[in-house]
Amino acid sequence: MTKKLTEPILVCVIILALLCGCTSKTEEPTEYIGIISAMDNEIDLLLKEAMIDRVDTVADVKYHVGSLHGQPVVITRSGIGKIRAASGVTTMLNTYKISKVIFTGIAGCVADEPQVLDEVIATNLVEHDYGIFSNDGFEWRSGDPGFGGEPGLYYDCDAQLVQLAYDAAVEVMGMDHVFKGTIATGDQFIANSEYVQKLRSDYDAYACEMEGAAAAVVCIQYKIPFVVIRALSDKADGNAHESYENFGDTAANNSSRIVIKMLDTVGK
Protein backbone atom coordinates (compact mmCIF):
# COMPACT_ATOMS: atom_id res chain seq x y z
CA MET A 1 0.00 0.00 0.00
CA THR A 2 1.42 3.37 -0.98
CA LYS A 3 2.03 6.22 1.46
CA LYS A 4 -0.55 8.38 -0.35
CA LEU A 5 -3.25 5.76 0.29
CA THR A 6 -2.20 5.00 3.88
CA GLU A 7 -2.37 8.57 5.17
CA PRO A 8 -6.10 9.19 4.39
CA ILE A 9 -7.01 5.82 5.97
CA LEU A 10 -5.03 6.70 9.11
CA VAL A 11 -6.82 10.04 9.35
CA CYS A 12 -10.20 8.33 9.06
CA VAL A 13 -9.27 5.86 11.81
CA ILE A 14 -8.26 8.69 14.13
CA ILE A 15 -11.50 10.60 13.47
CA LEU A 16 -13.60 7.49 14.13
CA ALA A 17 -11.73 6.85 17.37
CA LEU A 18 -12.36 10.41 18.51
CA LEU A 19 -16.04 10.16 17.65
CA CYS A 20 -16.37 6.88 19.55
CA GLY A 21 -14.66 8.45 22.52
CA CYS A 22 -17.09 11.36 22.50
CA THR A 23 -20.17 9.15 22.36
CA SER A 24 -18.93 6.94 25.19
CA LYS A 25 -18.71 9.79 27.69
CA THR A 26 -20.90 9.37 30.74
CA GLU A 27 -24.11 11.31 30.28
CA GLU A 28 -25.63 13.47 33.00
CA PRO A 29 -28.53 11.82 34.85
CA THR A 30 -31.92 13.13 33.83
CA GLU A 31 -32.69 14.03 37.47
CA TYR A 32 -30.91 14.29 40.80
CA ILE A 33 -32.07 13.93 44.39
CA GLY A 34 -31.14 17.11 46.23
CA ILE A 35 -29.78 16.64 49.76
CA ILE A 36 -29.16 19.75 51.83
CA SER A 37 -28.13 20.55 55.38
CA ALA A 38 -27.03 23.56 57.38
CA MET A 39 -23.69 22.37 58.79
CA ASP A 40 -20.71 20.29 57.71
CA ASN A 41 -21.20 17.56 60.31
CA GLU A 42 -24.71 16.99 58.95
CA ILE A 43 -23.38 15.84 55.55
CA ASP A 44 -19.96 14.41 56.51
CA LEU A 45 -21.18 10.81 56.51
CA LEU A 46 -23.07 11.30 53.25
CA LEU A 47 -19.98 12.63 51.49
CA LYS A 48 -17.87 9.75 52.82
CA GLU A 49 -20.38 7.25 51.43
CA ALA A 50 -20.92 9.05 48.11
CA MET A 51 -19.05 8.80 44.82
CA ILE A 52 -18.52 12.46 43.95
CA ASP A 53 -17.90 13.25 40.28
CA ARG A 54 -17.35 16.96 40.70
CA VAL A 55 -17.81 19.86 43.08
CA ASP A 56 -19.44 23.01 41.73
CA THR A 57 -19.00 26.24 43.68
CA VAL A 58 -21.80 28.77 43.32
CA ALA A 59 -21.70 31.95 45.43
CA ASP A 60 -19.12 30.34 47.76
CA VAL A 61 -21.39 27.34 48.42
CA LYS A 62 -20.16 23.90 47.31
CA TYR A 63 -22.50 21.51 45.51
CA HIS A 64 -21.20 17.93 45.47
CA VAL A 65 -22.47 16.16 42.35
CA GLY A 66 -22.33 12.37 42.04
CA SER A 67 -24.09 9.28 43.33
CA LEU A 68 -24.98 7.87 46.74
CA HIS A 69 -25.92 4.21 47.05
CA GLY A 70 -26.74 4.09 43.36
CA GLN A 71 -28.85 7.25 43.25
CA PRO A 72 -27.75 10.44 41.44
CA VAL A 73 -27.47 13.18 44.06
CA VAL A 74 -26.45 16.77 44.63
CA ILE A 75 -25.33 17.33 48.24
CA THR A 76 -24.75 20.74 49.76
CA ARG A 77 -24.27 22.57 53.05
CA SER A 78 -26.18 25.82 52.77
CA GLY A 79 -25.24 27.40 56.09
CA ILE A 80 -27.26 28.12 59.22
CA GLY A 81 -30.54 30.04 59.21
CA LYS A 82 -33.54 30.65 56.99
CA ILE A 83 -31.83 33.02 54.53
CA ARG A 84 -28.95 30.67 53.77
CA ALA A 85 -31.24 27.65 53.53
CA ALA A 86 -33.55 29.41 51.07
CA SER A 87 -30.58 30.59 49.01
CA GLY A 88 -29.02 27.13 48.94
CA VAL A 89 -32.20 25.37 47.85
CA THR A 90 -33.00 28.04 45.25
CA THR A 91 -29.52 27.78 43.72
CA MET A 92 -29.75 23.98 43.69
CA LEU A 93 -33.13 24.00 41.93
CA ASN A 94 -31.99 26.59 39.39
CA THR A 95 -28.68 24.84 38.64
CA TYR A 96 -29.64 21.15 38.52
CA LYS A 97 -32.66 19.12 37.48
CA ILE A 98 -33.87 18.05 40.93
CA SER A 99 -36.67 15.50 41.38
CA LYS A 100 -37.01 15.80 45.17
CA VAL A 101 -35.32 17.52 48.12
CA ILE A 102 -34.31 15.97 51.44
CA PHE A 103 -33.26 18.36 54.21
CA THR A 104 -31.29 16.49 56.86
CA GLY A 105 -29.73 17.52 60.14
CA ILE A 106 -30.27 18.11 63.83
CA ALA A 107 -32.82 20.00 65.91
CA GLY A 108 -33.92 20.79 69.44
CA CYS A 109 -36.62 18.68 71.06
CA VAL A 110 -39.91 20.42 71.86
CA ALA A 111 -42.49 17.70 72.54
CA ASP A 112 -42.54 15.73 75.79
CA GLU A 113 -42.21 12.19 74.48
CA PRO A 114 -39.14 12.31 72.17
CA GLN A 115 -35.70 12.19 73.76
CA VAL A 116 -32.24 13.33 72.69
CA LEU A 117 -31.01 11.25 69.69
CA ASP A 118 -34.57 10.35 68.66
CA GLU A 119 -35.73 11.30 65.16
CA VAL A 120 -38.53 13.58 63.99
CA ILE A 121 -39.84 13.37 60.42
CA ALA A 122 -41.63 16.60 59.58
CA THR A 123 -45.18 16.23 58.33
CA ASN A 124 -45.28 20.03 58.09
CA LEU A 125 -43.29 23.10 59.11
CA VAL A 126 -44.08 26.51 60.50
CA GLU A 127 -42.15 29.79 60.90
CA HIS A 128 -42.59 30.50 64.61
CA ASP A 129 -40.78 33.88 64.42
CA TYR A 130 -42.76 35.38 61.53
CA GLY A 131 -45.21 38.11 62.48
CA ILE A 132 -45.73 41.52 64.05
CA PHE A 133 -44.05 42.73 67.23
CA SER A 134 -45.99 45.68 68.67
CA ASN A 135 -46.55 47.26 72.08
CA ASP A 136 -49.07 44.50 72.66
CA GLY A 137 -46.45 41.82 72.10
CA PHE A 138 -45.80 39.33 69.30
CA GLU A 139 -48.57 38.35 66.90
CA TRP A 140 -47.79 35.35 64.74
CA ARG A 141 -48.50 35.87 61.02
CA SER A 142 -46.66 32.94 59.49
CA GLY A 143 -46.69 32.76 55.72
CA ASP A 144 -48.60 36.01 55.28
CA PRO A 145 -46.19 38.51 53.68
CA GLY A 146 -48.81 41.26 53.48
CA PHE A 147 -49.69 40.94 57.18
CA GLY A 148 -53.36 40.88 56.25
CA GLY A 149 -55.91 38.18 56.87
CA GLU A 150 -55.60 35.39 59.39
CA PRO A 151 -52.34 33.69 60.42
CA GLY A 152 -51.94 29.96 60.41
CA LEU A 153 -49.98 28.79 57.37
CA TYR A 154 -48.09 25.52 57.75
CA TYR A 155 -45.95 24.09 54.95
CA ASP A 156 -46.80 20.45 54.23
CA CYS A 157 -44.10 17.95 53.30
CA ASP A 158 -44.71 15.47 50.50
CA ALA A 159 -46.74 12.59 51.95
CA GLN A 160 -44.88 9.86 50.06
CA LEU A 161 -41.49 11.19 51.11
CA VAL A 162 -42.68 11.49 54.71
CA GLN A 163 -43.70 7.82 54.69
CA LEU A 164 -40.46 6.80 52.98
CA ALA A 165 -38.42 8.73 55.55
CA TYR A 166 -40.45 7.37 58.46
CA ASP A 167 -40.09 3.76 57.32
CA ALA A 168 -36.34 4.24 56.81
CA ALA A 169 -35.99 5.85 60.22
CA VAL A 170 -37.85 3.02 61.93
CA GLU A 171 -35.57 0.51 60.23
CA VAL A 172 -32.45 2.41 61.32
CA MET A 173 -33.50 3.61 64.79
CA GLY A 174 -36.41 1.43 65.89
CA MET A 175 -40.06 2.50 66.12
CA ASP A 176 -39.79 3.79 69.70
CA HIS A 177 -37.26 6.40 68.60
CA VAL A 178 -39.05 7.85 65.56
CA PHE A 179 -41.81 10.49 65.53
CA LYS A 180 -43.80 12.37 62.90
CA GLY A 181 -45.18 15.87 63.36
CA THR A 182 -44.71 19.62 63.08
CA ILE A 183 -41.26 21.18 63.13
CA ALA A 184 -41.00 24.87 64.04
CA THR A 185 -38.43 27.02 62.23
CA GLY A 186 -36.98 30.34 63.39
CA ASP A 187 -33.72 32.23 63.22
CA GLN A 188 -32.73 31.44 66.80
CA PHE A 189 -30.96 28.59 68.56
CA ILE A 190 -33.57 27.90 71.25
CA ALA A 191 -32.15 27.29 74.74
CA ASN A 192 -35.05 28.44 76.88
CA SER A 193 -37.56 26.20 78.67
CA GLU A 194 -40.34 28.81 78.65
CA TYR A 195 -40.08 29.30 74.90
CA VAL A 196 -40.10 25.54 74.40
CA GLN A 197 -43.46 25.45 76.18
CA LYS A 198 -44.73 28.18 73.85
CA LEU A 199 -43.63 26.26 70.76
CA ARG A 200 -45.42 23.22 72.12
CA SER A 201 -48.66 24.99 73.03
CA ASP A 202 -48.89 27.43 70.12
CA TYR A 203 -47.75 25.22 67.24
CA ASP A 204 -47.94 21.65 68.57
CA ALA A 205 -44.32 21.29 67.49
CA TYR A 206 -42.15 18.23 68.01
CA ALA A 207 -38.85 19.98 67.28
CA CYS A 208 -37.37 23.39 66.54
CA GLU A 209 -34.59 24.35 64.15
CA MET A 210 -33.46 27.20 61.88
CA GLU A 211 -33.88 26.15 58.23
CA GLY A 212 -36.68 23.70 57.43
CA ALA A 213 -39.58 26.06 56.73
CA ALA A 214 -37.41 28.24 54.49
CA ALA A 215 -36.45 25.22 52.39
CA ALA A 216 -40.10 24.20 52.34
CA VAL A 217 -41.28 27.56 50.97
CA VAL A 218 -38.80 27.37 48.07
CA CYS A 219 -39.71 23.78 47.23
CA ILE A 220 -43.41 24.62 47.27
CA GLN A 221 -42.82 27.59 44.97
CA TYR A 222 -40.90 25.36 42.55
CA LYS A 223 -43.40 22.50 42.96
CA ILE A 224 -40.67 20.08 44.08
CA PRO A 225 -41.56 17.38 46.64
CA PHE A 226 -39.56 17.64 49.86
CA VAL A 227 -39.17 16.27 53.35
CA VAL A 228 -37.26 17.43 56.45
CA ILE A 229 -35.55 14.86 58.69
CA ARG A 230 -34.24 15.96 62.09
CA ALA A 231 -32.31 14.12 64.79
CA LEU A 232 -32.71 15.61 68.25
CA SER A 233 -29.42 16.85 69.67
CA ASP A 234 -30.83 18.68 72.71
CA LYS A 235 -33.99 19.59 74.62
CA ALA A 236 -33.87 23.27 73.57
CA ASP A 237 -33.69 24.20 77.26
CA GLY A 238 -31.04 25.84 79.43
CA ASN A 239 -28.69 22.88 78.86
CA ALA A 240 -29.10 22.94 75.08
CA HIS A 241 -25.57 24.11 74.27
CA GLU A 242 -23.96 21.42 76.42
CA SER A 243 -26.22 18.71 75.00
CA TYR A 244 -25.50 19.84 71.45
CA GLU A 245 -21.75 19.63 72.08
CA ASN A 246 -22.12 16.09 73.44
CA PHE A 247 -24.63 14.64 70.98
CA GLY A 248 -24.62 16.87 67.87
CA ASP A 249 -22.31 14.73 65.72
CA THR A 250 -24.01 11.47 66.68
CA ALA A 251 -27.43 12.94 65.96
CA ALA A 252 -26.27 14.29 62.60
CA ASN A 253 -24.90 10.88 61.59
CA ASN A 254 -28.19 9.21 62.58
CA SER A 255 -30.11 11.42 60.17
CA SER A 256 -27.56 10.71 57.43
CA ARG A 257 -27.99 6.98 57.96
CA ILE A 258 -31.73 7.44 57.46
CA VAL A 259 -31.16 9.34 54.21
CA ILE A 260 -28.95 6.50 52.97
CA LYS A 261 -31.63 3.97 53.88
CA MET A 262 -34.17 6.05 51.97
CA LEU A 263 -31.95 5.97 48.87
CA ASP A 264 -31.53 2.20 49.20
CA THR A 265 -35.33 1.88 49.29
CA VAL A 266 -35.81 4.17 46.28
CA GLY A 267 -33.38 2.00 44.33
CA LYS A 268 -35.35 -1.21 44.88
Which among 7, 27, 42, 144 is annotated as catalytic?
Answer: 42
For the chain, list the strands marked E by DSSP. 32-37, 51-58, 61-68, 71-77, 98-109, 119-127, 131-134, 137-140, 155-156, 178-185, 205-209, 226-234
The residue count of the chain comes to 268
CB 65 within 8 Å of CB 32: yes
Number of Cβ within 10 Å of residue 147's Cβ equals: 11
Candidates 37, 36, 73, 31; CA nearest to 54 is: 73
Active-site annotation holds for 176: no
In degrees to the nearest 10, what's the CA dihedral of 43, 47, 49, 53?
150
CB 172 within 8 Å of CB 258: yes
27 CA to centre of own chain: 26
Active-site annotation holds for 237: no
Residues in a beta bridge with 32:
98
Say how many Å lie between the first and final Cα of the chain, rounded: 57
Which among 158, 234, 237, 242 is annotated as catalytic?
Answer: 234
| Catalytic site positions | 42, 234
